[in-house]
């Protein structure tokens, strides 16, 4: 290995979709700055490197490690511990690492159902109804694959995390700003935020950045956006469209509401929000325009899947983390 004086950069993916990687590449020519200022030592999606290469490194040798993805199996957890040990700055990068995101929705269901869905439903060609087994005896020896955990965990439920960078995926301009900041900090020209801070995002809510007009919210009926002719100027929640803006961290410039879609909450809980879904329960229910229990119930029927609506990105990172069904692997 040649000696390289540049600080080292790593990026890893666990239970995630790969969108965070694409978001990093979407910083366009700024990626050349990454290359100019860092030596990329480990990035499975972009380059060939082996776990053994990382194991050989000194502790703290990697300066900046962006981790995306939740902890779904024992391999994820093993690499999380490994990269924690080898990295100076470990960033929980993207919604999956921070709060579980879409892979975390599996925490609603017993893991058996999750596996069955993956291996038996109509989109899977599996005529012999096979399932993966963690270890299998071959004439040549035992072969193994990672063992699935019953519930998905967030990165900080497994290892100590230095910074959180939310978003599904984090906005590219935010990534570019964070990379600029780290480069400036390495050159001694800027200071890194305190440990545990959320970086690359705002401190307020999506509503705060949203340009739509707001009046008084009085909801007589919840509707789904695809079945509604929504006023393009008016607050979506005011029109009865479940928009997660009130609880969601700012930082995306309210992209979805500006494009005519409701906020689905990918930037996670806003500053000071301990449980994202609880904040939305308060926000949505309080503005129901009725004092009669039966009518309230009827209006609430318009929210077809409230837990899915409120914890779409946040289930694994919420106070309850996983449903009883997932915890006990039974219905």
Partner 1 sequence: MTDTPETKPFEPTIIGFTCNWCSYRAADMAGISRMKYAPNVRLLRLMCSGRLDPMFVFKAFAGGADAVLVSGCHPGDCHYINQNYKTLRRFPLMQRVLAQMGIEPARLKLLWASASEGQIFANEVNRFIEEVRALGPLNWNQTGSEVPAEPAHEEVPA
Tokens of 158: 């497994």
Mutual angle of helices 30-37 and 172-186, in 10-degree steps: 30
By CB under 8 A, the count of residues binding partner 1 is 57
Binding range to partner 1, per CB under 8 A, among 51-59, 96-104, 238-246, 314-322 = 314-322
Here's the x/- map for partner 1, 87-116, by CB under 8 A: it reads as: ---------------------x--xx-xx-
For the residues of 225-240, what is the DSSP string, one character each? GGGS---SSB-TGGGT
Per CB under 8 A, the list member of 52, 130, 227, 259 interacting with partner 1 is 130
In angstroms, the CA 11 to CA 1 distance is: 20
Q: Is 172 in the site for partner 1 (CB under 8 A)?
A: no
Q: Is 129 in the site for partner 1 (CB under 8 A)?
A: yes
In the 8-state DSSP scheme, what is residue 103?
A: H
Q: Is 73 in the site for partner 1 (CB under 8 A)?
A: yes
Here's the x/- map for partner 1, 258-277, by CB under 8 A: it reads as: ----------------xx-x
Binding range to partner 1, per CB under 8 A, among 15-23, 46-54, 86-94, 284-292 = 284-292
In angstroms, the CA 151 to CA 320 distance is: 12
Task: Compare residues 150 and 193 and give the one whose CB is closer to partner 1.
Answer: 150
- The three-class DSSP label of residue 138 is strand
In angstroms, the CA 205 to CA 210 distance is: 9
Strands 71-73 and 148-153: antiparallel
Cis peptide before 103 (omega within 30 of 0): no
Q: Is 12 in the site for partner 1 (CB under 8 A)?
A: no
Q: Which of 327, 19, 33 is nearest to 179 (CA)?
A: 33
- The three-class DSSP label of residue 154 is coil
- The three-class DSSP label of residue 172 is helix
Task: Compare residues 186 and 303 and give the one whose CB is closer to partner 1.
Answer: 303
Per CB under 8 A, the list member of 284, 312, 314, 317 interacting with partner 1 is 284
Q: Is 120 in the site for partner 1 (CB under 8 A)?
A: no
Q: Residue 39 contacts by C-beta under 8 Å, 6 or more apart in sequence?
A: 4, 6, 7, 8, 9
Q: Which of 209, 210, 225 is nearest to 262 (CA)?
A: 225
Here's the x/- map for partner 1, 226-255, by CB under 8 A: it reads as: ------------------------------
Q: Would you say 275 and 282 are in contact if contact means Cβ atoms under 8 Å apart?
A: no
Q: Is 81 in the site for partner 1 (CB under 8 A)?
A: no
Per CB under 8 A, the list member of 151, 236, 243, 270 interacting with partner 1 is 151
Here's the x/- map for partner 1, 22-61, by CB under 8 A: it reads as: ----------------------------------------
Tokens of 65: 């490690």
Residue ranges that bind partner 1, judged by CB under 8 A: 73-74, 108, 111-112, 114-115, 128-134, 136, 147-151, 153, 157, 274-275, 277-279, 281-282, 284-286, 288, 290-291, 293, 296-297, 300, 303, 305-308, 310, 318-329
């Amino acid at each position: 290995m040649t000696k390289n004086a540049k600080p080292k950069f790593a990026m890893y993916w666990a239970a995630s979709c790969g969108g965070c990687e694409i978001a990093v590449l979407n910083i366009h020519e700024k990626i050349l700055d990454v290359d100019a200022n860092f030596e990329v030592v480990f990035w499975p999606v972009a380059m060939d490197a082996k776990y053994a290469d990382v194991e050989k490194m000194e502790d703290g040798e990697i300066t900046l490690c962006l981790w995306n993805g939740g902890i779904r199996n024992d391999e994820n957890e093993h690499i999380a511990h490994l990269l924690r040990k080898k990295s100076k700055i470990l960033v929980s990068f993207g919604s999956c690492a921070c709060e579980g995101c879409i892979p975390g929705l599996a925490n609603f269901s017993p893991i058996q159902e999750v596996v069955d869905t993956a291996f038996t439903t109509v989109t899977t060609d599996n005529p012999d109804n096979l399932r993966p087994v963690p270890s299998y005896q071959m004439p040549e020896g035992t072969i193994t694959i990672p063992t699935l955990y019953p519930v998905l965990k967030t990165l900080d439920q497994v290892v100590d995390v230095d910074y959180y960078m939310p978003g599904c995926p984090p906005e590219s301009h935010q990534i570019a700003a964070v990379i600029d900041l780290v480069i400036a900090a390495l050159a001694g020209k800027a200071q890194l935020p305190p440990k545990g801070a959320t970086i690359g995002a705002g401190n307020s809510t999506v509503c705060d950045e949203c340009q739509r007009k707001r009046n008084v919210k009085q909801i007589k009926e919840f509707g789904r956006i695809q079945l509604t002719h929504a006023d393009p100027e008016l607050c979506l929640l005011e029109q009865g469209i479940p928009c997660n803006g009130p609880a969601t961290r700012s930082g995306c410039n309210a992209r979805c509401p500006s494009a005519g879609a409701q906020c689905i909450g990918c930037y996670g809980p806003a500053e000071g929000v301990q449980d994202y879904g609880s904040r939305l329960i308060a926000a949505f229910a309080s503005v129901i325009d009725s004092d009669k229990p039966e009518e309230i119930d009827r209006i609430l029927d318009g929210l077809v899947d409230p837990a899915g609506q409120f914890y779409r990105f946040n289930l694994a990172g919420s106070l309850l983390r996983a449903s009883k069904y997932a915890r006990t692997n039974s219905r």
